[in-house]
Structure 1
């Protein structure tokens, strides 16, 4: 293969994953090759929509999945309040395109919501023959709910179907786990919220990797109870991604030293969705309003454009994209 292996990894975060769509749109506009995609939870859906469609259909399918007709509408002065209303509505009556509430029996609990609407929509948006055909490799992360171990399904050795995607979305207690074979599998974010691990372990060639996380570990200090609850969630998931990624980069560097191979070949960028004041704090992932989805799409597109600008120089280490602060942080010297 000429050039580096190019991979996109998508973290989970329910409706926040509209950010992924805009990021992929910017990536596609650069016409870079794409060899491998991976994801957990909502990120697994993004990855499957990419791997399961021809290149020219991927952005339209992502737009259709999120119900976005155009980018961000005029900002509303009541966006924060509207976000809370949208999130509370989703909790009570669901979102017609993705899930609806179920009324669990006290004797036999399944989950609070049923993903049947999303199952129906994905069956029409993803070509599973193409997805499993190997054009773009796909890895989907789930978690074994008995052992707690991550379980990765990969089109290089497994056939991935809708059940694998829904298992990756089984975030308890909201969404039900799925039994595949002898294992009961839940949300990939419970173990690997951004599953770059198989890519970094297996790929010995130079790697161009973009990790798209939906929770930013570095952000503002909380100044209210709402902000504190949001910050807690961001740290729980954002730190998991960042610390694992730093460790994997260090391991790759040590392996190259051991093998006597040159360093400086990997290009690794971490993009994180940084929610603004418009989002309803800790309930932002349940905000399915069209305005919020459109804003996230636009933010993802701009963040990926910032990541791609000057990022193709073959430099080892980790670049952290903080577009809103006007900075791109290079952490190569701080392993």
Structure 2
């Protein structure tokens, strides 16, 4: 095991991931639910991609954004779990410095991309409910592609300083990361220099990206609810609200655990580190697992296409 204790090394060759310190004896048991969540996430999101690709009637803005979400979920969960399982199962704790920075970058950039996708989906629901006759003319395929590209570029560019700043810090204390993956703050705090620039930038990005996204989503759904309550009958209100209920559920599964993880990391000093590490890992696995389940249960078109595929394969 390498340990940098005396010499400043700008780029250490490897880091050591401890997994969940204090729970090493339970790593095998902890890996079981993590593996199950990952398998469900893989099957569910690949199913969403396959169903939308093979069903022409689903080739619309809502389902294009859903495919973007499924792809983002696959990248997020895959960026952390294979290495995490190698720690739990084979005690393969070493990770190359470059691979660590890459993992960190993928986690943060695709989290930002996913947040942007939720804004795009909220916009789609707003146009579909508040301006239904103009939906097809406003959200054309080129517009959807432009929105997707803008969301991706925002996440890619805003998160690029994270690994660039981490790479330039000198590391003279240790190369041991008390975490199950290369979380940004877990790596940064190993540097033996003033890291306030990195800390301030991460806070500003968190508030500007997540804060603005939540604001735009809230504005969209305020307008949506206002139009829903103007409908003449209760049945019409419930039916219209049902068209965006799955999106609301998905938003809650993403932002509420993210907010809780952020608060425990920043102000929850009395929270046991094991709890924080487990929750930070679960936060990147539970939403990718739940998103396809929620859309599969709540979206009639996806249900019908899945049923058609299953019944025709049996014939």
Larger radius of gyration: 2
Determine if the TM-score, normalized by the shorter chain, exceeds 0.5.
no
What TM-score do the two structures reach when normalised by structure 1? Answer: 0.29
Q: Per chain length, whose mean CA-contact separation is higher, i.e. which structure has more relative contact order (CA < 8 Å, sep 6+)?
A: 2
**Structure (1/2) with the larger helix percentage:** 2
TM-score (ref. length: structure 2): 0.31
